[in-house]
Amino acid sequence: MTGYHPIPRDLRDELAAAGLEPDEVMEHILRALEEDLPGGGVDPTSVATIGADAAARGDFNSRELGLVAGLGVAAATFHVVMGDAVTITDRTADGRRVEPGTRVMTVAGPTRGLLTAERTALNFASHLSGVATATAHWVTALEGTRAKVLDTRKTLPGWRALQKYAVRCGGGVNHRFGLADLAMVKDNHVIAAGGVVPAYRAVRERFPDLPVEVEVTDLDQLVALLDEGCDRILLDNMSPELMREAVVITGGRASLEASGGLTLERAAKVAATGVDFISVGALTHSVSVFDLGFDLTEQ
């Protein structure tokens, strides 16, 4: 696509320090802009209603209570559209808690460019702030226990790095990024291999250096895996009472992850069993966007 600009070096460095690949962020932004302006065309509404030399300033404002994330990506979007013609100030740090009515970023530059980039920038920041806010609710629910909240691979296609970044902003912990990072033996693998122990052994033999986690549904499977030396076990859809027994049986020999049908209302009770992690797909697959708005303040 033509007519766009690179992400500034200081912002690239900031994204990289946050664990995001700047070139991938750039590709995200370009794909999003292409949805709005195929081929790098013009915004007809802005061209018709706003003079070519008009300049303005606008504020990103929080309209609810929560955590912000993705403001660096939003800032990068304005730079991609307007290059050095845009000035961004007063940007709130990602992961910061904000109240309704809080100004989280100010953007100044050519009015046409501001309004062309506005929706794309808001889409990034609103969704990622929603993920961070949802994660923070789980972190709060687990306070006072040893359990940490994990994300999953149930992410929007193409958005995994950004969503997992937002989980970190909310105080959560990233699980594996992809299939090759950790062997996760699930129920279908167990059926195909003929049991949890054969499945675990098969992975260990084929990929001896790869971390392995195995899903279990009862205590007999748990004991069998502990005897094999498995040090990562997922307790699938177990009751809190059964999880508590699993923690006692394990005695610290493996990390235990609770998964399946978990809700915020049940979080504290599950965490109180002594499990190490609680995995929550809803952090990324069904989160509500955070209500951010962009309002021009002067022209």
Rg, C-alpha atoms of the chain: 23
154 is catalytic: yes
59 is catalytic: no
Catalytic residue among 63, 119, 176, 204: 119
118 is catalytic: no
Distance CA(225)–CA(254), nearest Å, equals 10
| Tokens describing residue 141 | 């629910």
The answer to whether the CB of 254 falls within 8 A of the CB of 226 is yes
The structure tokens 């007063």 sit at: 90
14 is catalytic: no
236 is catalytic: yes
Distance CA(235)–CA(271), nearest Å, equals 13
- Strand segments, DSSP code E, in 80-178 are 87-89, 97-98, 103-110, 148-150
Is 112 strand, coil or helix? helix
The answer to whether the CB of 80 falls within 8 A of the CB of 26 is yes
Catalytic residue among 215, 232, 257, 276: 215
Catalytic residue among 186, 187, 218, 269: 186
Catalytic residue among 57, 103, 154, 160: 154
Choose among 163, 54, 67: nearest CA to 116: 54
DSSP secondary structure, 115-133, as one string: HHHHHHHHHHHHHHHHHHH
Q: Which long-range contacts (CB under 8 A, 24 or more apart) does 46-54 make?
A: 46/111, 46/112, 46/115, 46/116, 47/112, 50/111, 50/112, 50/115, 51/111, 52/112, 54/110, 54/111, 54/112, 54/299
Catalytic residue among 34, 64, 228, 236: 236
Active-site residue set: 119, 154, 186, 215, 236
